[in-house]
Amino acid sequence: MKIAGRYILPLMTLYILICAGGFFLSSVLKTPFSFSDFIVLATLFLLINFLQLFIFFRGQFREPESTTMHTLVSISVKFLLEMVLALIWFIVIKKTLASAVVMFFVLYLTLTLFATIMMLKALKIKSLNKEVLV
């Protein structure tokens, strides 16, 4: 799991930057969302991304068929968990103000883009290593 360790530190760094940005927005610029809601939502997205990357990198050390299945499962699990989070956030907790909706989708897009880049980077490295061996 060496390869997975390389992507945990950037994910934690991104999380710290996101939290610092949320603190800046909520305290200095006086935006209408609460910082505690922001931290809870960012932490939930972080946990979902950890799970996705764990499943993905677990499959990277297996045979090619299993690698493909792990990749699809990681993306599917992330999608389903984020749908459940969206339903809970918007319908159960009723965070439907414009600021809460924007906050949700900014966090969603930021962490989804990060996970996609990390997965593509890992697949590219794996592909290049196979070409060298052939």
Instruction: Quote the radius of gyration of the chain (alpha carbons, Å).
Output: 17
pLDDT in tens, the chain (134 residues): 566 677 889 999 999 999 999 998 888 877 788 899 999 999 999 999 999 999 999 998 888 888 999 999 999 999 999 999 999 999 999 988 888 899 999 999 999 999 999 999 988 988 888 766 54
pTM: predicted TM-score of the whole model, two decimal places: 0.89
pLDDT, residue 96, reads 86
Question: Six-digit token pair at 29?
Answer: 């610029």
Residue 83 confidence (pLDDT):
97
What is residue 65's predicted lDDT score, i.e. its pLDDT?
85
pLDDT value at position 1? Answer: 52
| Residue 24 to residues 2, 38, 49, 50, 113, Cα–Cα distance (Å) | 34, 12, 24, 25, 22
Cα dist. 35→16, 18, 50 in Å? 14, 11, 22
Structure confidence at residue 44 (pLDDT) = 97
Instruction: Tell me what pLDDT residue 71 has.
Output: 93
Residue 132: the pLDDT is 60
